[in-house]
A and B are shown apart, each in its own frame.
Chain A
Amino acid sequence: MIDCIDLYKAFGSKKVLQGVDLHINRGESMVIIGGSGTGKSVLIKHMIGLLQPDAGRVLVDGIEVGAQDEDGLNELRKKFGMLFQGAALFDSLTVWENVGFGLIEHTKLDNTAIMKRVRECLEMVGMKDVEYLMPSELSGGMKKRVGLARAIAMNPEIILFDEPTTGLDPVMADVINDLIIKTTRALKVTSVTITHDMVSANRIADRIAMLYEGKIVAIGTPDEIMFNQTNPAVKEFVEIGRIIRQTEAVKGRHIGMQ
């Protein structure tokens, strides 16, 4: 579905991506992990054409993102939904105008039909009666949910999640993780999540890829990433994830004994 082929990107003298190769299958949930400032955000911004690579190509459904003109890029972007780190809701618009933005902009639906779809999407993320609130009246977790509702409103094939749990308390982070799993499965979309939160990565990933020094240094199922690593950088990073896995395994055994 998405192919990154030998991507290079530098900002000034700072080399961020140095030959990233990544293939994401249709319908899978790919989680890209890596420390802060390793270029995870830069990588997904290439997928949706917010950034252009210095060298290499990104293919979405076989279409090269970098080769599109503005109209082509817009067509391509309609396949995507994206949830930003801070939700990036439009301050000056109400919740329903935010969620319905794509529909208002790109379809000829009337307001009643748009409102119906907006309510549907809000319901899917577990929100009700917030249509007329402004984003400034929402808490961090609620903003993320509305952001997710906006991302799914146009029935995308691919959803990109930029640090979905960053800045949330553990309980709310868990709620958002569940929501991501639920919505991506219900809508049968391909999802790409970037995070440094191993708990979250563990829960939502079909496959995990680790970005380190501008390259993908490891890729595999969560189990493979947690337990079969020889690369010290990966080992160090997934330590916490491994502990969680083991605790859960112990808990499972404990429950099994009762």
Chain B
Amino acid sequence: MIASFLVRRVESLGGFAISTVKSIGSMGIFITQTLKWMVRRPFRFHAAVEQMMEVGVNSFPVVFFTAMFTGMVLALQSFTGFKRFGAESMVGTVVALSMTRELGPVLTALVVTGRAGSSMTASLGTMRVTEQIDALYTLAANPIKHLVVPRVVAGTIMMPLLTIVADFVGIMGGFTVGVLLLSANPVLYLDKTWEFMEYNDIFSGLLKSMVFGFIISIVGCYEGFYTEGGAEGVGSATTRSVVLGFMLIFIANYILTALLFSNSPAGTH
């Protein structure tokens, strides 16, 4: 009795391990295929531009609001905190650095995952369950090239652009709150915003966001591409794609931050 219980435990653990290794493997193959088709002619500019519009236009309003309110709340929070040791003048700096280095890329990535990544999964998943992907194969056309590459290119290019918007809008949100509510001097506030900012802050943020864009679109396409089980399957694939996207973004964010900002004191040891 106990033995059979144990056997079942071990079996399910083994099953889990096998399926995890399998999906990592198939994701790896999927990424390799995508990269291979990305550099093969003919390039499908038209399809890529279409997807860029899709990603950019769909996500823009949400990115805008997210960044604006984040910048605003950041100014408010840091002001209350900094007042305790008389560093109110540093609010602009804090908002600018947190937006460009961290919150701009990460929040944009989360929003884009929810908006564009999920819609990639839903549309590819629908194409899978209605046999449109099989139909592409039968017409001697490669679905990775036709469907996945344009989306991954669009995601990787649009994420940094959306992040630039988020950085700017967030800083402006902080500025608005600082000047209007906290009666900061506008000139001084902006001065402090730029004073400690380095190119590296912005570029590393944009580099991160490019990686996030790649992750979002690869995960979104992968989950959609291998959808099973009809309309219900499309729903669960979409959920899976968002959850997996979020987790990978957080993990990648830590790794990238550790690599990109390794010239900080902690990294010099």
Chain A residues with a Cβ under 8 A of chain B: 45, 48-50, 70, 74-75, 77-78, 80-82, 84-86, 88-91, 101-102, 105-106, 150, 154
Contact = CB atoms under 8 A, between A and B. Distances in A.
Contact of B127 (A74, A91, A105, A150): A91
B178 to A, nearest CB: 46
13 contacts: A48-B138, A70-B142, A74-B140, A75-B140, A77-B139, A78-B140, A81-B138, A84-B135, A88-B134, A89-B132, A90-B132, A91-B132, A150-B139
Interface in B128-152: 130-132, 134-135, 137-142
Contacts of B131: 84-86, 88
Contacts of B132: 88-91
A84 B134 contact: yes
B126 interface: yes
B140 A102 contact: yes
Nearest to A77: B140
Nearest to A84: B131
B138 A77 contact: yes
Contact of B126 (A74, A91, A154): A91
Contacts, number: 48
A50 B131 CA distance: 11
A50 B134 contact: yes
A108 B182 CA distance: 66
Interface of B: 126-127, 130-132, 134-135, 137-142
A86 B130 contact: yes
A152 to B, nearest CB: 12
A48 B139 CA distance: 10
B130 A50 contact: no
A78 to B, nearest CB: 5
A91 B137 CA distance: 16
Contacts of A70: 142
Contacts of A150: 139
A88 B135 contact: yes
A82 B137 CA distance: 10
A233 B127 CA distance: 36
A178 B138 CA distance: 24
